[in-house]
Amino acid sequence: MGLGAILAGLALSDEQAMWRVQTQDDHRAFAHLVEKWERPIRDLCVRMTGDVHRGEDVKQETFSRLYEKRRDYRCSGKFSSYLWRMALNLCYDELRKNRRHAAVPLQEETDQECGPDVPVERDSPRDVAARQEEAEIVREAIDSLPEIYRTTIILRHYENLKLREIAEVLDVPPGTINSRLAEGLTQLARRLEPHFAAKKAAVPVPAIIPRPPETSIL
């Protein structure tokens, strides 16, 4: 039985698991948190730094910092918001250190989710190349956005956080997040329009960025 199953059987929330880490140095509870959040935090760090290896390093640093600073944890909000914020701050430190900003929409390892007996439809090399080119154009466009808009777009459209969750992570009012998202998408559309002007119709931003259905603040 895995750690997740063990702690799920105890009906522990993330906040309760972190409390056990904080007060009892519970390594099983910490391993459960790492197991649950390792992939989302890795994806965020890679998208924010624009580099798989640096993103992996920042992810490792995030969980190391989480354990080192466990005594400082205060359960005044969701554990996930606390973790997202810690990872973002480390990403900002890494970006400032390297004097570059980037965001990469990850699409790796999706085919591995299919079983060996499930046929996987393969795109033609031309389709793959076109999709990669579009992804690079979007990456560069997001890279050029001011940090407040870039972070909001990544958390919303790639990490699928709701607007109220982003507001808690960034510690700003939900209305501010709504405004930042609208302005960020407007600026992004302006940057992308010249690249897709040759097509019959302008490609809308949601067609390029996988956008979750939820759009309200609540």
179-205 per-position pLDDT tens digit: 999 999 999 999 888 877 765 455 555
CA distance to 18, 44, 93, 141, per residue, from 38 (Å) = 15, 10, 20, 27
Residue 185, SS3 per DSSP: helix
Do 158 and 82 lie in one domain? The reply is: no
Do 156 and 203 lie in one domain? The reply is: yes
Q: Give the domain CATH number at 195.
A: 1.10.10.10
- Residue 213: what pLDDT? 43
What is the domain count for the chain?
Answer: 2
Do 137 and 94 lie in one domain? The reply is: no
* 50-98 residue pLDDT tens: 889 999 999 999 999 999 999 999 877 899 999 999 999 999 999 888 7
Last residue of one domain, picked from the residues 62, 83, 98: 98
Residue 144 domain boundaries: 123-208
Do 92 and 127 lie in one domain? The reply is: no
- Look-up of token digits 């969701």: 78
- Residue 22: what pLDDT? 94
Average pLDDT, the chain: 79
Q: Is the pLDDT of residue 206 over 60?
A: no
Do 33 and 83 lie in one domain? The reply is: yes
- Residue 56: what pLDDT? 96
Do 77 and 8 lie in one domain? The reply is: yes
Residues 172, 180: Cα–Cα separation, whole Å:
11
Do 63 and 138 lie in one domain? The reply is: no
